[in-house]
Structure 1
Amino acid sequence: MRYGLFLIAFLAIANLYAQDKPNYRIFDKKGNPATFEDLLKDSRKSDIIFFGELHNNPIAHWLQYELTASLHSTIKGDLALGAEMFEADNQLLLDEYLSGTIKEKTFEEEARVWNNYATDYKPLVEFAKANNLSFTATNIPRRYASLVFKGGFESLDDLQEAAKSYVAPLPVKYDASLPGYQKMVEMMGGHGGGSDNFPKAQAIKDATMAYFISENLPEKGVFIHYNGSYHSDNYEGIVWYLQNDYAPKAKITTITTVEQSDLSAIDEEHAGKADFTIVVIDTMTKTY
C-alpha cells in the first residue's frame, strides 16, 4: 500500500515537472550545466565581473539584480557597480542622485538614461542608492564615439582637456585583427570608406569603459559591470583592454547571454564565449 502511494506521489510530481516551461539554463565555459550558485561562487573570487546582456532580455536583467544582491550580502570587501548605459560626463549627476543631492526626476531627465531604464537599469541604481554603493558611468559620451566613427581616432586629438577627461587616455591601443572588430568591418561591406572607423568607434567605447573600470576598482572587493554581451564576449572588447593595458593582473569573470530554441546544451556558435553562458529560451518576451 505504501509503495502504491509513493508511486502515485512520484508520478504526480513527475507530471508536474513535465508541464514546467524552463526559461533559462546556465552553462560553464566547457559547456557543462552550471547553477546560479556556481556563478556566484566564481564571481566572489573575482576582481571584475562582466555581466554581458542582451539589452531587451528580462532574464538577463533579473539575474543581474540577483547576482548583485547576492554578492553584496556575501563578499568580503566592497562591491562597486558600473555600466555601459551611463556615459562618463554624467558621473556627477549619478553621484548627486545616489547621495540624495538631486531628485529622481532631475537625474532621469538630465542623465540621458536609456529608454528601458525604468524596467532594466533603475533597479540596479536604486540598489546602489539604498546600500550606499558606488556606481561608475563607464561609457564614452556618444558624441565622441560619433566623432571616431566619422573621422577615426585622430578626430579626438583636438578636443579640449575637459572633454578628454571623459575618454580613455589618448592614444589608445587598437588591434584591428581582433575577430570581433573584423566582423564589424565585414558588416560594413569590407575595407575602405567608413568601414574601418566602425570598429574604431567600438574600440574607443571598449577602451574607455576599461579605463574607468580600472580607475574605480575597490581596493578590496568586486567590481561588477553591466554591458551588452558584444563588449566582453570571447574575452575581447573591454576585457582585452583591461588585460593588455589597464588592469593586467585583475581576475576577471565573464558572463554572456544568448537565446536558443533548445535549452539542453549550448549551440556551437555560442561555445566558449564566456566563463558562464546564460541560455534563454528564444520565445522569452522582451522589455522593449
Structure 2
Amino acid sequence: MKDLSRTLTLLSCLFFAGCASLPAGNADVLPPQSQYDAIIADSSGSLLTVNQLAEALAPADVVVIGEYHGHHGAHLLEALIQSTLYRKRPQQVLSMEQFTLTDQPELDRYLSGETGEEELIADTGAWSNYKASYRPLIEFSRRNNVPVIAANAPAKIVRCIGREGEAYLEQLDSDLLKQLPEDRFLDTPVYRDKFFAALEDNHGADEGEDKNSSRIENSYKAQLLRDNTMADQVVTALRENPGHQVIHLNGTFHSENRLGMVAVLEKRRPELEVAVVSPVFWGPEDDFNSLLEEHRDRGDFLYFLQPLPEKYKDSDRQHEAIMQQFHNAGSLVCD
C-alpha cells in the first residue's frame, strides 16, 4: 500500500499543478508505471510537474523537444507542454520534423479549414502514427491559430543524398533548391563521432568496410541536411513571427546533448535562448540516480519513459525486415 500511495502521489504531482511537495529524496522516485507516464526532472535531478516545466521553459526563444518516435508517453508530454506553454506565452509557433518543406502548402490548407484530415494525411504522406501521435498537436494549433512549420527536408532529397551524396543537389529545380538552407551540411566533430557510432551500433558495418566510405559519409550528409533544414526553418519562423516562442519537435538524436539541429541553430543565432527537453528510457533494472548521472547532459530537462517493446526476438526475422528496408530503398529513382 505504501508503494501504491507513493505512486499515486507522484503521478498526480507530475501532471497537475498545486502539489506542495514531491517524494522526499531521489531514492524514492519510482519508475514510470505505464507507457503513457513520464517522470520529469531538470538536469540537477529536481522533479517537476508539467506546470513547473512550462514555467521554466517560458523564457526560452526556442523549446526543442526530443522524442522517441511512436512512444505514447513522449507524444502525450509534447501535447501537455504545448498547451501549458500556450497559457503562459500564447504567441506560439509549432515546428515539426514530421512534415517536410514541400508539405507546407497542404498543411496550411488544413489549418485554415480548406481540407479535411484524410486529405491532409494523403496529400502530405503523413507518418503512419499521425492520428495517434501528432493529431493532438495539430488540432490544438488549428483551434488556437498557432502557425505550424513543416520543418524537415523533403524525404526524397534526403534519401537520394544518402545514396548519391551532395552531388545530387545539382539535379534539383532551382526553386526547390532555394528552400534549402545555404549552408546545408554544417556540423560539429562531436556529432559526427556520435552519428557514426550509432550507425555501427544499430546496423553494424560490412566486414572490412572503411568507416569513412562514401556510403556512410553520404548517410551522414543526409542527416546533416535534416538538421540544417530544421534549424533554418526555426530561424525563419522567429524572423517572420517576432516575439513568438517556437516549440520544435524532432527525434531525440537530432537534439540531445545540444548537438544536431540545436548546435546548428546556436551557431547561426548564438543570441537565442534555446531549451532542450530530452527523453531517457527507464528499464526494469535502472534507478533514478544512476540514470540521471549517466544522461544529465542530454538536455536542460529530462523525461523518463518506459522502454518501448523489443521489436524482434527472432534474429532471422529481424534480418529479413532489415533486408526488406534495403530493398525498398533500392527502388527509389534519383533523377
Shorter-chain TM range is 0.7 to 0.9
Alignment deviations for residues 253-287 of structure 1 (CA, whole Å, 9 cap, x no partner): 0011121123533524423100111011337899x
Please give the alpha-carbon distance, in whole angstroms, between the structure 2 residues aligned to 1:101 and 1:230.
35
User: Partner residue of 2:300?
Assistant: 275
Indicate how the Cα distance of structure 1 residues 199 and 176 shifts in structure 2: closer, same or farther if over 3 A, else same. farther
User: Partner residue of 1:259?
Assistant: 281
User: Partner residue of 1:219?
Assistant: 242
User: Partner residue of 1:6?
Assistant: none
1:55-70 pair list within 5 angstroms: 55-70=69-84
Please give the alpha-carbon distance, in whole angstroms, between the structure 2 residues aligned to 1:202 and 1:176.
14
Q: Does structure 1 conserve the Cα–Cα contact (< 8 Å) formed by 2:98 and 2:126?
A: yes
User: Partner residue of 1:204?
Assistant: 225
Please give the alpha-carbon distance, in whole angstroms, between the structure 1 residues aligned to 2:39 and 2:218.
37
Indicate how the Cα distance of structure 1 residues 15 and 164 shifts in structure 2: closer, same or farther if over 3 A, else same. closer
In the TM superposition, residue 248 of structure 1 has moved relative to its aligned partner by: 2.1
User: Partner residue of 1:163?
Assistant: 176
1:65-214 pair list within 5 angstroms: 65-75=79-89, 78-178=91-191, 179-184=193-198, 186-187=200-201, 189=205, 190-214=211-235
Q: What letter corresponds to residue 71 of structure 2 in structure 1? A: N
Indicate how the Cα distance of structure 1 residues 154 and 248 shifts in structure 2: closer, same or farther if over 3 A, else same. farther
The structure richer in strand per residue is: 1
Please give the alpha-carbon distance, in whole angstroms, between the structure 1 residues aligned to 2:7 and 2:42.
26
Matched residues, number: 272
Please give the alpha-carbon distance, in whole angstroms, between the structure 2 residues aligned to 1:118 and 1:81.
17
Alignment deviations for residues 82-106 of structure 1 (CA, whole Å, 9 cap, x no partner): 1100011000000010001222221
Q: Secondary structure at the match of 1:60?
A: helix
**Which TM-score applies when normalising by structure 2?**
0.75
In the TM superposition, residue 193 of structure 1 has moved relative to its aligned partner by: 3.8
User: Partner residue of 1:232?
Assistant: 255
Q: Secondary structure at the match of 1:33?
A: coil
Please give the alpha-carbon distance, in whole angstroms, between the structure 1 residues aligned to 2:266 and 2:4.
47
The structure richer in helix per residue is: 2
Please give the alpha-carbon distance, in whole angstroms, between the structure 2 residues aligned to 1:248 and 1:213.
13
User: Partner residue of 1:4?
Assistant: none
Please give the alpha-carbon distance, in whole angstroms, between the structure 1 residues aligned to 2:256 and 2:214.
27
Please give the alpha-carbon distance, in whole angstroms, between the structure 2 residues aligned to 1:25 and 1:266.
15
Q: Secondary structure at the match of 2:171?
A: coil
Q: Secondary structure at the match of 1:224?
A: strand
In the TM superposition, residue 243 of structure 1 has moved relative to its aligned partner by: 0.8
Please give the alpha-carbon distance, in whole angstroms, between the structure 2 residues aligned to 1:26 and 1:207.
28
Q: Secondary structure at the match of 1:219?
A: coil
Greater shift in the superposed pair: 101-110 or 29-38 = 29-38
Q: Which one of the candidate residues 265, 270, 284 is aligned to 1:248?
A: 270
Gaps of 5+ in 1: 1-11
Please give the alpha-carbon distance, in whole angstroms, between the structure 1 residues aligned to 2:119 and 2:215.
38
Q: What letter corresponds to residue 148 of structure 2 in structure 1? A: F
Q: What letter corresponds to residue 40 of structure 1 in structure 2? A: A
**Which TM-score applies when normalising by structure 1?**
0.86
Greater shift in the superposed pair: 80-89 or 213-222 = 213-222
Q: Does structure 2 conserve the Cα–Cα contact (< 8 Å) formed by 1:185 and 1:198?
A: no
Indicate how the Cα distance of structure 1 residues 171 and 110 shifts in structure 2: closer, same or farther if over 3 A, else same. closer
Gaps of 5+ in 2: 9-29, 33-37, 206-210, 312-335
Indicate how the Cα distance of structure 1 residues 285 and 46 shifts in structure 2: closer, same or farther if over 3 A, else same. farther
1:37-52 pair list within 5 angstroms: 37-52=51-66
Q: Does structure 2 conserve the Cα–Cα contact (< 8 Å) formed by 1:263 and 1:281?
A: no
Q: What letter corresponds to residue 270 of structure 1 in structure 2? A: H
